[in-house]
């Protein structure tokens, strides 16, 4: 009997926004399993640091710098992964941003910044990856959505809209591509303790509000999200498509 997840060895896994936070933890998880890991990010310094960590686990990893809001960069990322490793097996659309403002203060530029990265880039990355997956007749696309796709929250009108759209996009692509060998799913985390949220949680009132809405003890960790992504990428989830797996500690249950 093969060990769980051993089928992911030598698979090509692309993680957008893979240089920090949740994305880096997801990339490290796949690197440990001997997958070919491709990460993207805006900061060359952060990418190089993350790539160094990946290489301590597995040398079959590369980094591609660029702004995923630029669709030309998105397509180039997918093409570079395919050129380097020959296949595109798993795409994790993780790159995302939030601009926390009251709805009445959100500008058109704010809206476009959030929607272009969180939703538009994920669609075109999926489209570009599907070109290779359709030729292979196999592939997994996993979108990192949010509990904010299901509930509202303060200062997150654009963010909630983008993540709600991402959940619906997951369903639409799953319907179109199911018979063609591509499974499309999403993971919807709650707030996760990372370098991105560290400053947020310095606000004690905000931290207490978040913790009061989570049924389980404490705050979510990056590995909680990585575990869900790993499941959806593996053979254990071969009969799952169009679903969004909430990793929110029970927030949306009530």
Q: Which residue has the tokens 């020959």?
A: 86
Give the mean pLDDT of 95-120.
98
pLDDT at position 67 is 96
Span 229-250, mean pLDDT? Answer: 98
DSSP 2: P
For residue 136, pLDDT beyond 70: yes
Beta bridge pairs of residue 62:
38
Question: What CATH number did the domain enclosing 22 receive?
Answer: 3.40.50.720
Q: What are phi and psi for residue 219, nearest 5 degrees?
A: -105, 155
Q: Is residue 204 part of a domain?
A: no
In a domain, 214, yes or no: no
Domain total in the chain: 1
Q: With a cut of 60, say whether residue 1 has pLDDT above it.
A: no
Catalytic residue, from 132, 153, 159, 231: name it.
Answer: 159
Q: Can you give the pLDDT at residue 226?
A: 98
Active site residue 231: no
The answer to whether residue 40 sits within a structural domain is yes
Residue 43 lies in a domain: yes
Q: What is the pTM of this model?
A: 0.97
Report the pLDDT averaged over residues 13-20: 97
Residue 27: inside a domain: yes
Q: For 192-238, what is each residue's pLDDT tens digit? A: 998 888 888 999 999 999 999 999 998 999 999 999 999 999 999 99
Segment 188-197, tens digit of pLDDT: 999 999 888 8
Q: Let me know if residue 215 belongs to a domain.
A: no
Joined together, the tokens standing for residue 180 give 């063609």
Residue 99 within any structural domain of the chain? yes
Q: Return d(Cα 205, Cα 86) in angstroms, integer.
A: 50
Question: Are 40 and 95 contacting, i.e. CB atoms less than 8 angstroms apart?
Answer: yes
Q: Assess contact for 63 and 39: CB atoms under 8 A.
A: yes
> What is the structure's pLDDT at 203?
92
- Domain carrying residue 237: 9-193+221-248
Q: Using CA atoms in the order 29, 31, 36, 40, what is the torsion angle rounded to 10 degrees? A: 70
Q: Tell me whether residue 52 is in a domain.
A: yes
């Amino acid at each position: 009997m093969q060990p769980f997840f051993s089928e992911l060895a030598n698979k090509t896994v692309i993680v957008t926004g893979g240089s920090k936070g949740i994305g880096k933890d997801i990339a490290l998880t796949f690197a440990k399993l001997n997958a070919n890991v491709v990460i993207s990010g805006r900061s060359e310094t952060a990418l190089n640091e993350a790539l160094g960590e990946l290489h301590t686990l597995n040398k079959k990893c590369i980094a591609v710098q660029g702004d995923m809001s630029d669709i030309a960069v998105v397509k180039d990322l997918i093409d570079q992964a395919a050129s380097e490793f020959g296949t595109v097996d798993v795409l994790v659309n993780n790159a995302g941003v939030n601009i926390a403002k009251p709805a009445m203060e959100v500008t058109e530029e704010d809206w476009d910044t959030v929607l272009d990265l969180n939703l538009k880039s994920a669609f075109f990355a999926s489209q570009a990856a599907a070109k290779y997956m359709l030729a292979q007749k196999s592939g997994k696309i996993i979108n990192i959505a949010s509990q904010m796709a299901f509930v509202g929250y303060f200062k997150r009108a654009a963010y909630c809209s983008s993540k709600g759209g991402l959940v619906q996009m997951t369903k639409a692509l799953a319907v179109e591509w199911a018979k063609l060998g591509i499974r499309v799913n999403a993971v919807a985390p709650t707030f996760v303790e990372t370098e991105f949220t560290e400053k947020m949680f310095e606000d004690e009132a905000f931290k207490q509000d978040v913790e009061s809405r989570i049924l389980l003890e404490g705050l979510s960790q990056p590995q909680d999200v990585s575990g869900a992504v790993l499941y959806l990428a593996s053979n254990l989830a071969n009969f799952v498509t169009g679903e969004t797996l909430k990793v929110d500690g029970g927030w949306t249950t009530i």
